[in-house]
Amino acid sequence: MPELPEVETIVRALRPTLVGKTILSADVLWARTLATPSPSAFVKRIKGQQIETISRRAKFFNLQLSTLREPHLCLPVLAARPGRHWRRQGKPFNLLIHLRMSGDLLVKEGAYTPEKHNRLVLTLSDDLSLVFNDPRKFGRVWLTANPDEVLGDLGPEPLDPSFTPQAFYERLHGRRRQLKTLLLDQTFIAGLGNIYTDEALHMARLHPLAQSDSVTPERAEGLWRAVRAVLEEGIRSNGASIDWVYRGGEFQNHFRVYGRDGEPCPVCGTKVERVVIGQRGTHFCPRCQPLKGD
């Protein structure tokens, strides 16, 4: 599953191409891709919308759309400039997309014929198409005027300036949970997944089974710095390209422990171990990351 750096990389690639484009039509090829609204309502509401901004929240893409939907006759304007005039109606729509396990967003030029694993195709102005491809069908799309209905329960962004070491320490001590499962909880901190959690815990020299409320202020700050460091390095490397459809990343060439079970730890040379925690494969160095009491 793509994590924060992979999603951020795709957002940065899409932004210069798609911002300002108008959505001319939509082709919903698999109805369950849409979490909301229904396919018929989606097609009707999104037609004619303009993509104003593209951003990221956690692992979600957020395409904010215009609301230039209905013609409006304004007599003073018509007198000076005859023709159809448009006005904004209500709140703007947001198109939210989560890639989940195998989703991908592709921009195609020219006439486009949908392919086998395409689930949604948006035909855009300037002879472009935005294609949501998803072989495993886990990805989801929302068209909503209230994005908080989808994003409201997410935790803080780990790279946001307001996310301080003290705030992180307080959040760790506000819950008594194993570090690995807590860091994966999107309501605790937004955007981390299996790869960057393992990498951050190793950098901070903390065992993935350590209890969150046992972490000292000093160790909490070390983990805070490690989380930010691995995410920033992941973004600089355009994410990681491993066993899914995301392409072009290089962070996999810099993994410290993730996916390296049986290989030597880059710090001490001890063999990296793999265990399953919360149904997720977890990689760590038993020497660099001792569990208290072992």
CB neighbours (10 Å) of residue 22?
A: 16
pLDDT of residue 68: 53
Is residue 122 domain-shared with residue 27, that is, in the same domain?
A: yes
- Cα–Cα distance, 53 to 108 (Å, whole number): 19
List all residues 6 or more positions away from 2 whose beta carbon is below 8 Å from its beta carbon.
10, 59, 99, 103, 193, 239, 244, 246
Closest CA to 49 of 35, 69, 63, 74: 69
pTM of the model: 0.89
**Residue 3 annotated in active site:** yes
Tokens describing residue 232: 């920033």
List all residues 6 or more positions away from 284 whose beta carbon is below 8 Å from its beta carbon.
198, 201, 202, 207, 208, 257, 272, 273, 275
Q: What CATH number does the domain containing 38 carry?
A: 3.20.190.10
User: Which range scores top for mean pLDDT: 45-54, 62-71, 249-258?
Assistant: 45-54
Instruction: Decide if 258 is inside a domain.
Output: yes
Q: Which of 2, 5, 147, 158 is catalytic?
A: 2
Domain that holds residue 196: 165-284
Q: What is the mean pLDDT of residues 61-85?
A: 58
**Residue 47 annotated in active site:** no
**Residue 137 annotated in active site:** no
Q: Which of 45, 56, 59, 180 is catalytic?
A: 59
pLDDT of residue 241: 81
**Residue 286 annotated in active site:** no
pLDDT surpasses 70 at 79: no
> Nearest-5° angle of CA 40, CA 44, CA 47?
135
147 or 86, greater pLDDT: 147
The total domain count for the chain is 2
Q: Which of 3, 6, 8, 199 is catalytic?
A: 3
Is residue 219 domain-shared with residue 259, that is, in the same domain?
A: yes
Q: Which of 21, 47, 228, 280 is catalytic?
A: 280
DSSP secondary structure code for residue 38 in this structure: -
Closest CA to 245 of 118, 58, 101: 101
